[in-house]
Every structure is written in structure tokens, then in C-alpha cells.
A = this chain, B = another copy of it.
């Protein structure tokens, strides 16, 4: 697979015709690597081209600087085809970036304030769960607020079901049971979510934002940041809707995430 610079006719630029991964790397070792590779392969397959071969990917984390960093992989269908018509024999392109990274540790301890976004995600089962390059909805949702005190925005789909935050998945505890939104019609199925689902009994559910009135704890998380407990939820105009006190019930799931990502446990 070609690992060079991007020519102007690349379909990743032209149409967002590709997928990406942002992988936490610690001292040259990738975190949740199998989950990232699996999602990357699933995405390429769903779009109809071959994923990079494993050997080519396995050497990349070793090239990261010491300490923590993010390995960003973009795989596009490459050039060619005629307009939207994909080339019959695509030559996918792999782009690799190593980016500096430090998690927002304060948010592990103190939790975060989040808000509901007004934007509703379009429903597209053929792309649901994938980390593809068509992310304008996320960009527009993230533009809904500029208050630095608000850490994330929660997104519903056009049927009013809670799906995700702009760059994180949602988890909550309701009647003592863990739940997370079903992602079979839109949203990105995060690798931390994948790893937590494999370890825990977490139900994938369809629920609107009113469900959050009933939850004992709410977290947002991804494979770079771990889990943030939510202490306050605002509506899309910034008015407080619900508050939660951080308690022992938050720390258990958080510490499972900390373990999965190699971060220190919280007291």
C-alpha cells in the first residue's frame, strides 16, 4: 500500500472515501490495537476495498516517540474511478501521522459538563459504526458551543434516539445496569466501547435523552481519554437539565477503562 503524499485526485479528499483510526501509543506500544485493526478492516471491507496488510500496520506504533502519542491512520480508496463510481481495482492509500497527546486527567477526577446538541445525526445503516472520513456532522455539532466549560455535546439521530457525543461514546447506569446506545443506524462504534462491551454486561439500547433523567451515572469515553463522568447536562441552549454527584459507582467503570488504556487507577 502506497504510504506517500496525497495527490489532488485522491478519493479520500474528493468524497471522504476512506476510514481512519486514532490509536493511543505508549512507548511504542499501541493500546487496543486489535480493536483498532478490526474496525479499520471492517470499514475498508464495508466500503469495498482491501484494508492495509497487518504487517505494514504492525510496525507503525514502534516508530512513535517515547511516552504517550497518537498514531493517526487514514486509509483512502486511492485515486481513480469515474466520479462517484469506484475503480474496479482500487489501490488504497495509507497516510500515517504521529501526534503528541496527553489525556485530560482533571476530567477523570472532577467529571465534565456536557450539553445536548441541536443537530440530529442522519440515519445511514450502511455506514453506522464505522470511523469513516465523512465527519461533517461531527464538525457542525462541535461548532454549536464555544464555552470551554462544556466538554462535549450529546447527539441524537433524526428519530430522536441518543447516539453518541461528538467524539465519544455514551454509557450510563440505570437501575444498577449498564447501558449504551445501539449504533446500528448511525454513530461511531469506539474501540474503548468495544473493549468494555467484551468485558461487561452492557445492554445496547434505543433511548431518547429523557432516559438520562433516570440514570444514576453517565459517562463519556473513547480510547484516548478513557471515561469522563458527567456531572451536569445542559440543553442545547446551555440551561442546566440534570446534575450528578461523582461517586463510587462512577469509579468502577472508569477504572476498568483506565486499566484497558494503561492509565493510573482512580481512588
Which A residues have a C-beta under 8 Å from some C-beta of B? 5-6, 8-17, 20, 47-48, 74, 76, 83-86, 95, 97, 119-124, 126-127, 132-143, 158, 166-167, 186
Contacts of A133 in B (CB 8 A): 13-16, 136
Query: A13-B74, A16-B133 known; A86 and B47 CB under 8 Å?
Result: no
Contacts of A83 in B (CB 8 A): 142, 167
A86 to B135 Cα, complex, angstroms = 12
Taking the closest CB of chain B, its distance from the CB of A196, in whole angstroms, is: 21
Taking the closest CB of chain B, its distance from the CB of A145, in whole angstroms, is: 10
Taking the closest CB of chain B, its distance from the CB of A7, in whole angstroms, is: 9
Find A5's partner among B5, B12, B85 (CB 8 Å cutoff).
B5
Q: A8-B95, A14-B135 are in contact. List 6 more A-B contacts (CB 8 A).
A: A15-B16, A86-B139, A122-B123, A122-B186, A127-B137, A134-B136
Query: A5-B8, A95-B8 known; A86 and B142 CB under 8 Å?
Result: yes
A17 to B143 Cα, complex, angstroms = 13
Closest CB pairs A-B (n = 9) = A122-B122, A16-B16, A134-B134, A15-B135, A122-B124, A84-B142, A84-B138, A13-B13, A134-B136
CB–CB A134/B48 < 8 A? no
Query: A143-B48, A158-B122 known; A135 and B8 CB under 8 Å?
Result: no
- A133: nearest residue on chain B (CB-CB)? B16
A181 to B134 Cα, complex, angstroms = 24
Query: A8-B97, A95-B8 known; A135 and B134 CB under 8 Å?
Result: yes
- How many copies the complex holds: the figure is 2
CB–CB A84/B139 < 8 A? yes
- A153: nearest residue on chain B (CB-CB)? B84
Contacts of A76 in B (CB 8 A): 13
CB–CB B15/A12 < 8 A? no
Contacts of A126 in B (CB 8 A): 119, 137, 140
Taking the closest CB of chain B, its distance from the CB of A188, in whole angstroms, is: 11
Contacts of A124 in B (CB 8 A): 120-122, 137, 158
- A157: nearest residue on chain B (CB-CB)? B122
Contacts of A97 in B (CB 8 A): 8-9
Contacts of A14 in B (CB 8 A): 20, 74, 133, 135
A-B pairs with beta carbons under 8 Å apart, 19 shown: A9-B97, A13-B133, A14-B135, A15-B133, A15-B136, A15-B139, A16-B135, A17-B135, A84-B138, A84-B139, A84-B141, A84-B167, A86-B142, A86-B143, A119-B126, A123-B123, A127-B136, A134-B134, A134-B135
